Amino acid sequence: MSKRLRELDVPLHSIVPSVVDSLLRLHSNTLATADWTETELNEPFDYIQRIFSSCPNLTKACFKPILVQEFLEGFNFWVCCDSLEELRMDIIMNPSEFIPLWPKMTERGKQDMLWVTFAHLARLRSLKVLDLGGTQSECVK
């Protein structure tokens, strides 16, 4: 990603689908459509919301899905937190406390997926606070 793009206020929804597509390609061997229940495929928004709301370690950050496109191609959401690096380190140090974004992967796959996801987000914006589609007041601090 170019330095210029990193410095621009680029809406996350214009970038995330391609990032997720890349992640899906990386993990294509562990992400088969057969692994999803019919409900999860038909109601991805509810499924993602359930994952985020059930994760106790996300009290200092807020993940709010705002638009779900074709689920296996990508989804859009915004992230706000005091420090992405701090959150990323929490994931690395305490992976068992974080719910995977995609179910039924190997334990190693779950950790890798979370790490790669946050590494991509950290590259998109290096600011202390990310505000990509929501407002800080909507975030849980």
Rounded to 5°, angle at Cα 53 from 71 and 12:
50
Q: Which domain does 69 fall in, by range?
A: 3-138
pLDDT at position 109 is: 46
Measured torsion, CA atoms of residues 77, 81, 96, 104, in degrees rounded to the nearest 10: 10
The distance in angstroms from the start CA to the end CA of the chain is 29
Higher pLDDT, 72 or 51: 51
Give tens-digit pLDDT for 93-134.
Answer: 554 443 333 333 334 444 444 433 443 443 333 322 233 333
73-90 as b/e: b if 16+ CB within 10 A: ebbbbbbbbeebeebbeb
Give tens-digit pLDDT for 28-46.
Answer: 333 333 344 444 444 434 4
For 71, phi then psi, to 5°, come to: -60, -40
Closest to 15 in 3D by CA, of 105, 130, 104: 130
pLDDT at position 93 is: 55
CA atoms within 13 A on the CB side of 57: 15
For the chain, the domain total comes to: 1
Residue 121, burial from CB neighbour count under 10 angstroms (0-12, 13-18, 19+): buried
pLDDT averaged over every residue in the chain: 38
pLDDT at 89 over 50: yes
pLDDT at 67 over 50: no
Per-range mean pLDDT, top range of 18-27, 45-54, 63-72: 45-54
pLDDT at position 31 is: 36
Higher pLDDT, 20 or 80: 20
What would the two tokens of residue 82 be?
A: 């005091």
